[in-house]
Structure formats: C-alpha cells, structure tokens
C-alpha cells in the first residue's frame, strides 16, 4: 500500500548569516498520521531542519538556499511562520517557551489564535484529558515544574488543531520517569488525534520505541534511516547512540 506523504523535504541546504552552511542536502518524508523521529548529536542540524519547515529559520537569519519543502503537495519553503501555522503545521520549540505570567488556560487559548470556531473550550478539556495535572494548576504558568511546562507547550500545540506537530526535544531537562510519561502521551495524541508528528530527539532509545520511522543526522547530512525497529537493531546505532539507553 502506497503511503500518503504529507511532508516532503527534498535535498535542502540551509545557510545562516549568508555564509554558514549548516544543512548539506537533507531529504526526508513524513507519511500521514505517522510519528517520524530525527536523531543525531548536538549541532548536527536537527533544530535547523525543524525551523526550515516551520519557517522560523527566517527569524534567525537563516535561509533555505537549495531544495524544496512540500506540505500536502504545496511548496512552503518561502512561506512565513504564520502562514505555515495556518496551513496546519505547529512547532513546539525547544525549551518550551510558555508565557510565564499567564495562566495555563490563557497559554492554551494562545495556541488557538488562528481559530475562529466554537470548539476551543472542548479542546481545552481534550488537553486536560491528556495532561490531567495541568487542570489542577490554577496559578501562573511560570510556577509549573519543567515537566508541566513541557506538557503545556504540547497542549498549546493541540489547541491549534494542526495536521502536523513538530516537536523539538520534548525530553530535554526531564527525569527518566517523566520522559517515559511524556513520550507515552505524545504517542497517544499521535494515534488518537491522528496528528502527524516529526520529533527531534537526543534520547534515541526512547524516540525509536515510539516512532514509525527514524532518520539519523550528522554534520548536516542524513547518515542512516529506517523503521524504529530497524534502527534499534542496527549495530552502528547500538554502538554510537543507544549505549546505556
């Protein structure tokens, strides 16, 4: 059965500040409804790849200088971040980026800023279904624990009713137990809401157990790809990325 590819990145090159070449021909496909992970060491260019897709690259003086990015068959490489959100792609940034002096509910409403429909209240309840402990936190979001802030950042993405969510290192700064919990919830959201996901991680072991497919990046290139299971059993992966995991 042919899979429907919703996001297709073809041979992109990205340059920062007009001279620093960071991505050297990255290609990847994300099939509809699946969870795909992008792995690799610090500085490999994982975040840059996500920002190229979400359009946020432009806010950091980065530019896609070669290649194409297509979402549902339409080129998005030159669209603004706002246009890309309206087309259905929402990025959860590394480091969470919630608004600390707003409440949980106010933060969630911000995620729905592009929407004009009446389903927003129901979607807040949907977020509380996945993250029940957020419902109990009535103070400012700045008082939430790191794990709760990560949950809120993911909840805010759900509020945008996106077709696709880009997640940048959801495990960052979380305890092993919490990482497991958050990954479980991400997988449930992916399956139950049918939201396609592209997830950047340093925690390869955890990511590959949740993912349908994975790509491994090094120095701005894809060096390996395969199903979650194939990569978990790959000897190079075991040696370099899965040791101790």
Residue 232 CA to residue 215 CA, distance in Å, equals 12
CA–CA separation, 169 vs 147, rounded Å?
Answer: 12
The span from the CA of 67 to the CA of 37, in Å, is 21
**Range 165-224, binding ligand ATP (CB under 6 A):** 202
The yes or no reply on residue 43 touching ligand ATP (CB under 6 A) is yes
From 30, 46, 206, 225, residue interacting with ligand ATP (rule: CB under 6 A): 46
Determine if 19 is a binding residue for ligand ATP (CB under 6 A): no
Q: Does 42 bind ligand ATP (CB under 6 A)?
A: yes
Residue 124 touching ligand ATP (CB under 6 A): no
Q: Is 96 in the site for ligand ATP (CB under 6 A)?
A: no
Q: Which stretch binds ligand ATP (CB under 6 A): 42-50, 142-150, 189-197, 222-230?
A: 42-50
Listed ranges 16-24, 108-116, 117-125, 223-231: which one lies at the site for ligand ATP (CB under 6 A): 16-24
Candidates 33, 39, 47, 123: give the one binding ligand ATP (CB under 6 A).
47
Least gap, CB of 119 to ligand ATP (angstroms): 34
Which one of residues 4, 60, 106, 236 is an interface residue with ligand ATP (CB under 6 A)? 60
Among 37, 48, 107, 149, binds ligand ATP (CB under 6 A): 48
Nearer to ligand ATP, 47 or 210 (CB): 47
What residues make contact with ligand ATP under the rule CB under 6 A?
A: 16-17, 20, 22, 40, 42-48, 60, 202
């Amino acid at each position: 059965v042919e899979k429907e590819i919703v996001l297709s990145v073809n041979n992109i090159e990205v340059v920062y500040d007009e001279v620093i070449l960071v991505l050297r021909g990255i290609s990847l496909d994300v099939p509809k409804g699946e969870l795909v992970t992008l792995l690799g060491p610090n500085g490999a260019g994982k975040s840059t790849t996500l920002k190229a897709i979400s359009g946020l690259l432009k806010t950091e003086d980065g530019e896609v200088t070669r290649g194409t990015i297509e979402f549902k068959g339409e080129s998005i490489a030159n669209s603004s971040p706002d246009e890309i959100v309206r087309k259905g792609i929402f990025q959860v940034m590394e480091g969470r980026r919630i608004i600390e002096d707003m409440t949980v509910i106010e933060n969630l409403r911000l995620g729905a800023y592009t929407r004009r429909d009446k389903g927003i209240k129901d979607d807040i309840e949907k977020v509380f279904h996945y993250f029940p402990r957020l419902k109990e936190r009535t103070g400012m979001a700045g008082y939430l624990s790191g794990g709760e802030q990560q949950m809120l950042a993911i909840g805010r993405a759900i509020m945008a009713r996106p077709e696709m969510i880009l997640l940048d290192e959801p495990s960052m700064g979380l305890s092993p137990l919490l990482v497991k919990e958050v990954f479980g919830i991400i997988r449930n959201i992916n399956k139950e809401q049918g939201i396609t996901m592209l997830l950047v991680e340093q925690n390869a072991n955890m990511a590959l157990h949740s993912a349908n497919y994975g790509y491994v990046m090094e120095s701005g290139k894809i060096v390996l790809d395969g199903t979650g299971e194939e990569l978990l059993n790959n000897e190079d992966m075991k040696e370099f990325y899965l040791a101790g995991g």
